[in-house]
Amino acid sequence: MANTKLIEDAYRNAKEQYAELGVDTDKAIRKLDGVEISLHCWQADDVGGFEAPDSRLDGGGIQATGDYPGKARTIEELRGNIEEVMSLLPGKQRLNLHASYGDFKGRKVDRDEIEIEHFQSWIDWAKKLGIGLDFNPTCFSHPLADAGFTLSSKDPKIRKFWIEHVKRTRKIAAEMGKQLGSPCVNNIWIPDGSKDTPVDRNTHRKILKESLDEIFSEHYPEEYLIDSLEGKLFGLGLESMTVGSHEFYLGYAVRNNKIVCIDTGHYHPTEQPGDKISAMLQFLDGLMLHISRGVHWDSDHVTIFNDDVQLIAQEIVRANALDRVHIGLDYFDASINRIGAYVVGARAVQLALLFALLEPTDELRSFEEAGKDFERLAYLEALKAKPFGAVYDFYCVINNLPTGAEYLKEIENYENDILSTRSNRHSLG
């Protein structure tokens, strides 16, 4: 374990430094502790899922690359992985499940047949851990998605199948929210789009709108279910047009009281996802976030403490919107230790939130209002050198967790004891 005294001393010092800026570090820690990060189940097994007979990520314009050993092969393994991840994170998390991760017990259950019974063991597990669940329809990795269109398909048979699937996910999600006493965000993302320039974007979008109208015709209480819509710019093999674009879903959500999911990899590379938060929150009740890291494209690299993530955290905190933004992760890196990938990403988001919570925003705002732009700039730069890391370390220590790079050892031990038994290719240490 870390040298606790060293961390406590550093914290005392940091607390004083921030107090001089008018910032209360204890209060920042308390606020951070109230933020639940929704961990995406799909980093543990490269978006494979547990459908029979054999499931894997297939099509849809997304791809997990790498073959690092230790991927979760069963529900039990995945649950164990998530518990391990949670044991290395301060604060409380949720689990974000995809419909393809149901407890199908080896039976073939098609997407238009899923029921609450296939997710009851997840709910029971979540209840035992005292966590909430979020949910997602799985509209990819399926023969009826192979033609490239699901909810926006011109083929009525295909469209009907996917409408039924998404309807069922809403019903299951509402039941999750009800049983767990925490609203479940059911996030709809579809891969529909085309590789080359289409001539009939309009009809596909019209069909998508009609499909959504039908899906949402069923009403569920909002304390159980929150419907979220995730747009996208492009995907692999879907470079020229995505039916469910940002504008499409923003328009739909505003008109129909839904929330929108901002996936940080789903915009033009020079757009700042953080800038969208205060814009969209003027018109939507809430937002969902898929915090990812695109490298040149929507590559779904592990989230790190970078400018994008900092701006997102700052904009949520500055808009006082922590209770309206559902924060989730979305990446799938199969080239590194998958447990480590979760912990790095979740800690990065926590660190960004803490950094934002330690900002003397009123002071900065008064510079801005007085036209003192140099002062604003210099102050923002000075804040980057303040000891926010000492505050995060202290947050870990009071939760009996390893700080900084120390958790590496824990993850290596878990790899040697558990993950390496899943493959004969691997050994560490």
Cα 403 to the chain's mean position, in Å?
Answer: 23
For residue 267, the partner it binds in Zn ion, ligand RNT, none, with Cβ less than 5 to 8 A by kind, is none
- Reply yes or no on whether 204 is catalytic: no
Q: Which of 263, 308, 359, 393 contacts ligand RNT by CB under 6 A?
A: 263
Dig out the tokens for 310 from the structure. Answer: 């900092």
Dig out the tokens for 173 from the structure. Answer: 């999600």
Q: Which letter, b or e, does each residue of 294-312 get, where b requires 16 or more Cβ atoms within 10 Å of its Cβ?
A: beeebbbbbbebeebbbbb
| Least distance CB 38 / Zn ion (angstroms) | 11
Catalytic residue among 175, 227, 330, 393: 330
Catalytic residue among 51, 134, 175, 300: 300
Q: Does 47 bind ligand RNT (CB under 6 A)?
A: yes
Nearer to Zn ion, 14 or 47 (CB): 47
Under the phi-then-psi rule, with left for phi > 0, alpha for psi from -120 to 50, and beta for the rest, what region is 42?
A: alpha
Cα 282 to the chain's mean position, in Å?
Answer: 22
Q: Which of residues 246-275 bind Zn ion (CB under 5 A)?
A: 263
Under a CB-based contact definition with an 8 Å cutoff, are residues 40 and 302 in contact? no
CA distances from 333 to 237, 299, 336, 338 (A): 20, 9, 7, 7
Catalytic residue among 84, 134, 230, 308: 230
Q: Does 51 bind ligand RNT (CB under 6 A)?
A: no
Q: Which range of residues in 142-150, 211-219, 283-291, 360-368 is near Zn ion by CB under 5 A?
A: 283-291
Start-to-end Cα distance in the chain: 19
Dig out the tokens for 86 from the structure. Answer: 């949670």
Binding string to ligand RNT for residues 289 to 308, with x set by CB under 6 A, is what? -x-------x----------
Under a CB-based contact definition with an 8 Å cutoff, are residues 298 and 234 in contact? yes
Q: Which of residues 172-231 bind ligand RNT (CB under 6 A)?
A: 189, 230
Nearer to ligand RNT, 40 or 204 (CB): 40
Under a CB-based contact definition with an 8 Å cutoff, are residues 298 and 235 in contact? yes
What is residue 371's three-state secondary structure? coil
Q: Which amino acid is at 269?
A: P
Q: Which amino acid is at 195?
A: K
- Reply yes or no on whether 330 is catalytic: yes
Q: Which range of residues in 109-117, 329-337, 367-375, 384-392 is near Zn ion by CB under 5 A?
A: 329-337
| Least distance CB 136 / ligand RNT (angstroms) | 5
CA angle 362, 368, 370 (to 5 degrees): 105
- Reply yes or no on whether 266 is catalytic: yes
| Least distance CB 265 / Zn ion (angstroms) | 7
Q: Which of 38, 63, 136, 350 contacts ligand RNT by CB under 6 A?
A: 136
For residue 136, the partner it binds in ligand RNT, Zn ion, none, with Cβ less than 5 to 8 A by kind, is ligand RNT
Q: Does 50 bind ligand RNT (CB under 6 A)?
A: no
- Reply yes or no on whether 300 is catalytic: yes
DSSP 90: S
Nearer to ligand RNT, 47 or 419 (CB): 47
Strand-pairing partners, residue 419, are none
For residue 47, the partner it binds in Zn ion, ligand RNT, none, with Cβ less than 5 to 8 A by kind, is ligand RNT
- Reply yes or no on whether 98 is catalytic: no
What is the C-alpha to C-alpha distance for residues 232 and 129, in angstroms, rounded to an integer? Answer: 33
Dig out the tokens for 429 from the structure. Answer: 């240490």
- Active site residues per annotation: 189, 230, 232, 263, 266, 290, 298, 300, 330
Q: Which residues bind ligand RNT (CB under 6 A)?
A: 42, 47, 62, 136, 189, 230, 232, 263, 290, 298, 330
**Residues near Zn ion (CB under 5 A):** 263, 290, 330
